[in-house]
Amino acid sequence: MMKKITAIILMSISVIVPVLAQQSEQDNESVQPKVRFAPLRIYLDSGNKSLAAYQFELKAAAGQIKIVGVEGGQHKAFKEAPYYDPAALANDRIIIAAFNTGRELPTGRTRIATIHLQIIGEAEPDYELKLTVAADADAKEIPAEITFEKGE
């Protein structure tokens, strides 16, 4: 009889505990922070030199973001989606790169990529953007300035 009662108690615990845990998870999920989506436009200014290749890294210095998509640039030389690690999606850090072996290349300030972000919470995120390399049509490194603009 005692064993039967013990078994019933153990079974009840093993049923109730996961149910309660799931319920508390659902409760937590119901108090979700505010989520919004916004694009981050990346610009590169290569001055009077033509831009044939670039690589940069972006990460969130503050705030909570998730990268949800990457789009190509403004000039037809960089219109196609650039190279990036698929593991960067749903992450807060990404390395993006592209090149074009053609002769029609952009000069001056041009939008090279747009990164679509999921911003979690009320806080406005801060971004760290670093240009790894920019090069001209002869694959020679050129000085360039990288900037970003937040979109709505």
Which stretches of the chain bind another protein, using CB under 8 A? 3-4, 7, 10-11, 14-15, 17-18, 21, 52-55, 57, 59, 83-91, 93-99, 101, 128, 130, 132-133, 135, 139, 141
Closest distance to another protein from the beta carbon of 53 (Å): 4
Q: Which helix (H) or strand (E) holds 30?
A: helix 2-30
Closer to another protein by Cβ: residue 34 or 142: 142
Closest distance to another protein from the beta carbon of 15 (Å): 6
- Give how far Cα 18 sits from Cα of 6, 15, 21, 26, 28, Å: 19, 6, 5, 12, 15
Q: Alpha-carbon dihedral of residues 65, 71, 74, 75, nearest 10 degrees? A: 140
Closest distance to another protein from the beta carbon of 28 (Å): 15
